[in-house]
Structure 1
Amino acid sequence: MTVLHTERLVLRPWRDSDLDPWAAMNADPEVREHLGDPLTREQSEASMVRFRAAFDRRGYGWWAVEVRATGEFIGFAGMDDVDDGMPFTGVEIGWRLARASWGVGYATEAARAVVAHGFDTLGLPEILAVTTAGNLRSQAVMRKIGMTRNPADDFDDPDAPEGPLRPNVLFRLERGAATAAAGGAPGSR
């Protein structure tokens, strides 16, 4: 499995030792604010199993993210095929970090590495990102990595209940536009 390195982060395969901090993250209502209900430990463990299997099957997916200097697990970043039933198709980028890691640029740094991998290694023509209309932090990261939003692409998530999780925004980044936006994003090894 490919490992991505940035100045401060390592995006790597999941380890069994990631389960405790991953489960703690997913049990945090603030981390889950724009995602839905907090997850149980069993649900978090099941997601790790799915992430590993997807990487084995496709060669891309969700990496565990750790801080290079300390080896501390702080969340995940990566890409996945857009879910069936959405009003668009393609490959979607995403990230989720523990609250203690918010506000220091880790999400942007990880996202840039994932974008570079998606375009340079996988040869994707376009990368998408989706979040709830109210998730302004993630939308700021999307803009920082050069993604753009056309309000005509916004949609209601068919799998979300009525309420704040239903209205979603779609951001796009085309391969040609990514070079300037990546700001010299590091590659992979």
Structure 2
Amino acid sequence: MDPFLQTERLVLRPFTAADADHLFALDNDPEVMRFINGGKPADRDAIRVRTLPRLLHDHPGSGTRGFWAAEEKDTGTFLGWFELRPLDDHDPAVVELGYRLNRAAWGKGYATEGSRALIDKGFTDLAVERVTANTMAVNTRSRRVMEKSGLSFLRSYFGDWPESIPGSEHGEVEYELLKAAWEQGTR
């Protein structure tokens, strides 16, 4: 399958149904899922019925899927996924940036590398005007990736989540990058 995007060390490609086992392993790691669901184990049926359809969804407004499997360029090893998904299916102007990488990929700069490449592609090829990203306030690693990718802190907020997980009492944070600011930073 043709890659969507390549960087110095990463290949971002569309997901396929054959990625179910990779997704199960990723979502079954309690440390990977700590800030998502409190580290609860993954369910294979949920991966097949809920997760994969979301990752395979085409967004008509941008002509892209929004989620990409991330592989190490040299080895083809599955590292996780990246997201640059329109918030409105039919309007590519505002997108959400996200990433979920396996622990073996942490601390190597992959999240920042992939995020920067997606942001660049969004602003140059996909009619993106604003990139937004959210995480739990206590998720310092993810916040650092957002900052290193060029996003700036916008606000703190408290969501109405069905289940509280450790750290949720501190709320969520939103970061953003506008195309005009990105253009100033790339010159």
Calculate the TM-score normalised by the size of structure 2: 0.84
Change (3 A) 1:100 1:131: same
Q: Deviations over 1:61-94 (max 9, x none)?
A: 11010011011111000222449xxxxx942100
Q: More displaced, 162-171 or 22-31?
A: 162-171
Change (3 A) 1:142 1:180: farther
Total equivalences in the alignment: 176
Q: 2:10 aligned with 1:9, yes or no?
A: yes
Q: Deviations over 1:18-41 (max 9, x none)?
A: 221211110111000000033212
Over the residues paired in the alignment, what is the CA RMSD in angstroms? 2.4
Q: 2:48 aligned with 1:45, yes or no?
A: yes
Q: 2:101 aligned with 1:100, yes or no?
A: no
Name 2:127's counterpart in structure 1: 123
Name 1:75's counterpart in structure 2: 80
Change (3 A) 1:79 1:180: same
Consecutive unaligned residues in structure 1, runs of 5 or more: 84-88, 184-189
What residue identity is the alignment partner of 1:97? L
Name 1:143's counterpart in structure 2: 147
> Percent of counterpart pairs with the same letter?
35
Relative contact order: is structure 1 or structure 2 higher (C-alpha 8 Å, sep ≥ 6)? 1
CA distance in structure 2 between the partners assigned to 1:66 and 1:56 by the alignment: 25
Name 1:187's counterpart in structure 2: none
Structure 1 residue 181 displacement after superposition: 5.1
Kept in 1: contact 2:153–2:174 (CA 8 A): yes
SS in 1 for 2:168: coil
Change (3 A) 1:58 1:90: closer
CA distance in structure 2 between the partners assigned to 1:182 and 1:63 by the alignment: 24
Calculate the TM-score normalised by the size of structure 1: 0.83
CA distance in structure 1 between the partners assigned to 2:137 and 2:70 by the alignment: 25
CA distance in structure 2 between the partners assigned to 1:49 and 1:35 by the alignment: 19
Change (3 A) 1:181 1:7: farther
Q: Deviations over 1:127-147 (max 9, x none)?
A: 000000111001000010111
What residue identity is the alignment partner of 1:64? A
SS in 1 for 2:104: helix
Q: Deviations over 1:148-167 (max 9, x none)?
A: 113xx211122353452361
What residue identity is the alignment partner of 2:45? E
Kept in 2: contact 1:130–1:168 (CA 8 A): yes
Kept in 1: contact 2:32–2:102 (CA 8 A): yes
